[in-house]
Amino acid sequence: MSKFLSSLYSALEPYTPGEQPKDKAYIKLNTNESPFPPSPKVVEAISTEVINDLNLYPDPEVGLLRDALAENFGVKRDNIFVGNGSDDVIAFSVMAFSGRGGRLACPDITYGFYPVYAELFGVNLTEVPLRDDFSVKVEDYKDLGCPVIIANPNAPTGLMLSVEEVEALINQNPNRLVIMDEAYMDFGKASAVELTKKYDNLMVIGTFSKSRSLAGLRVGFAVANAEIIRDLETMRFSFNPYNINSLTMRAATAAIKDKAYYDSCIDKIIKNREQTKTELIKLGFKVLDSKSNFIFASHPDYSAKSLYEELKNRGILVRYFSKERIKDFVRITVGSNEQMQSVVNEIEDILKG
């Protein structure tokens, strides 16, 4: 580090993204991207007219996209916040609702950005251990009065709370904010968004990076009551009111409107996920019941780290985490049918020795 870095951040441990090696062509199943291209309507939306207007600032209200999201979820524009990826939304949420010296709770095995943001913003983080089966149990949060953020389905396990369990979590304390990070929920089909119309202490976060094939454009959003959204807008306008560019706004708006295309892609991924889970179980793997677009698997006779390394040598990227509780697992993004068959074939060959 340089001598100019503030001492506040000298011990900061940044988030580690999935690797993006360029040394050769890989089957890339390590960052939970969609194997399918964006909707053709997204391509059409990035028109010459939009490109010719790039000399102008984008709409700071992000009105076009917020209106499309509001229509999709049956809420008003005032119930929608849009960020530069869901990471942006999470960051503003941690700043707004915990803040320096405040508190936040999350599972001990979850999305790696939660503890990073807590450290960055000076928030005291309580990590609630997952149960031995890697599930989140709602009752473990009943005595916590601070904001709670839970990825649902959870990452990297893929396990999911039901809508009824989420509602029980909300009802534990009406004065506590519950943030459900539903980055992967389109693959679980049990969103809690409808509960935002009933409860004022719930915020649901979503993203266009997974099911809508727009990871490269960086679009995330939140649905909540209007007061919570105003709080987030205060944070955004105090930091970067132009966080969504004009091309992104048009493309994301087109994507949210092409439900038929994306529903078809989601159904294919779910089918590939279930088929791959079955194949891996036949090969002796313990496979968690993922409701996301990835699989979390462990083999009793082959180390996860060795499997990750051998697959990489064979041109397939998966994700390995060295954290003690999950060091025996690999996370495999669900790709196309052809990609998943290649993974299963290579793993079978590796296990044969």
List the structure tokens of 10: 């000298």
Residue 10 above 90 pLDDT? no
Residue 166 and residue 147 share a domain:
yes
Residue 47 above 90 pLDDT? no
CA angle 340, 288, 135 (to 5 degrees): 145
| Residue 124: band (very low, low, confident or very high) from pLDDT cuts 50, 70, 90 | very high
Residue 28 and residue 153 share a domain:
no
Last residue of a domain, one of 204, 238, 258: 258
Last residue of a domain, one of 258, 290, 325: 258
pLDDT of residue 231: 98
CATH for 220 = 3.40.640.10
Residue 228 and residue 196 share a domain:
yes
Residue 129 and residue 219 share a domain:
yes
Stated as kind and residue range, the H or E segment containing 346 is helix 337-352
- pLDDT tens digits for range 250-292: 999 999 999 999 999 999 999 999 999 999 999 999 999 999 9
pLDDT of residue 24: 72
Residue 143 and residue 32 share a domain:
no
Report the DSSP pairing between strands 178-181 and 202-207: parallel
What count of Cα atoms within 13 Å lies in the side-chain half-sphere of residue 120? Answer: 14
Biggest CA–CA distance in the chain, Å, is 60
pLDDT of residue 244: 96
Angle between helices 304-313 and 337-352 (to 10 degrees): 120
Tell whether 1 is covered by a domain. no
CA distance 28 to 332: 9
Residue 64 and residue 12 share a domain:
no
Residue span of the structural domain in which 276 resides: 7-37+260-352
Tell whether 284 is covered by a domain. yes
Last residue of a domain, one of 213, 230, 258: 258
Residue 50 and residue 33 share a domain:
no
Residue 150 and residue 103 share a domain:
yes
CA angle 56, 60, 66 (to 5 degrees): 120
Tell whether 2 is covered by a domain. no
Residue 229 and residue 326 share a domain:
no
> What is the residue type of 111?
Y
List the structure tokens of 267: 């159904």
Residue 275 and residue 251 share a domain:
no
Residue 295 and residue 182 share a domain:
no
> What is the residue type of 26?
Y
Residue 280 and residue 245 share a domain:
no
Tell whether 221 is covered by a domain. yes
pLDDT of residue 22: 81
CA angle 8, 13, 15 (to 5 degrees): 125
Tell whether 173 is covered by a domain. yes
SS3 137: coil
pLDDT of residue 48: 78
Residue 159 above 90 pLDDT? yes
pLDDT of residue 264: 97
CA distance 4 to 78: 41
Residue 353 above 80 pLDDT? no
E strands of 84-201, at which residues?
103-107, 124-128, 148-151, 178-181
CA distance 246 to 65: 10
CA distance 209 to 213: 6
DSSP string, 268-282: HHHHHHHHHHHHHHH
pLDDT of residue 173: 97
| Residue 11: band (very low, low, confident or very high) from pLDDT cuts 50, 70, 90 | confident
Instruction: Judge contact between 170 and 152, C-beta under 8 A.
Output: no
Give the percent of the chain with pLDDT over 70.
100
Count the domains in the chain: 2
pTM over 0.85: yes
CATH for 14 = 3.90.1150.10
